Amino acid sequence: ETREEVKAHRLIEPFAALKSAASQRKAEALSARLCHNGDDFIYEITLLHRDGRLVHVEMEADSGKLISRPPHEAHDAPVKN
Q: What are phi and psi of 61, to 5 degrees?
A: -75, -20
CA–CA dist 49, 59 (Å, integer): 18
- Domains, the chain, ordered by start: 2-69 (3.10.450.40)
pLDDT in tens, 7-59: 999 999 999 999 999 999 999 999 999 998 788 999 999 999 999 999 999 99
Structure confidence at residue 75 as a pLDDT band (50, 70, 90): very low
Is residue 58 within 8 Å of residue 66, measured between CB atoms? yes
pTM of the complete model beyond 0.95: no
pLDDT of res. 74: 42
Collapsing DSSP to helix, strand or coil, 7 comes out as helix
